[in-house]
Amino acid sequence: MLTSPEVLVPVDFSPCSVNALRVAIGMAAPEGDVTLLHVINQEFIDDAVAASLGTSEEIRNRLREHAEASFSSMLEGIDSGQVNIEKMIVIGLPFVEILKIARDLDLPMIIMGVRGRSTPPEELLFGSTAEKVLRGSRVPVLCVPF
């Protein structure tokens, strides 16, 4: 079986990203490290500010609080064994931040879900985050289906 002691797992809290986490834990076991990364989309924040839903800081704080709560609920049903799980929340364009974190932390592998929470028309016109990560990565990327 394929293994990696350190793995980056970008998550949007979709069922597919939860499956990617399960695969990553299996690959990092028995005593590896998994870094969970959630990227708050800066374009979403800009659109919310433009729609008068609050200030940039207020929206960032709400999204960060939601992400932290989602991390907790996502990890409740997961048995990580001896695998160390670290959580990160950053703001930016998802595929750019995923590639940057993988490079900056010198992680040897990225494991992510194929389908996230993005809308189908967006995927058809611009390509999915997973596809952009695959094209830009310098390390192996394992894409996990549903």
* pLDDT of 121: 53
Domains and CATH numbers, the chain: 6-144 (3.40.50.620)
pTM of the model: 0.89
* pLDDT of 127: 56
Instruction: Please give the residue that has the higher pLDDT: either 121 or 88.
Output: 88
Distance CA 21, CA 118 (A): 19
Residue 126 clears pLDDT 50, i.e. is over it: no
Average pLDDT, the chain: 89
Strand spans (E) along the chain: 6-10, 33-41, 84-92, 110-113, 141-144
pLDDT one-digit tens code per residue, 16-54: 999 999 999 999 988 899 999 999 999 999 999 999 999
37: β partners: 10, 88
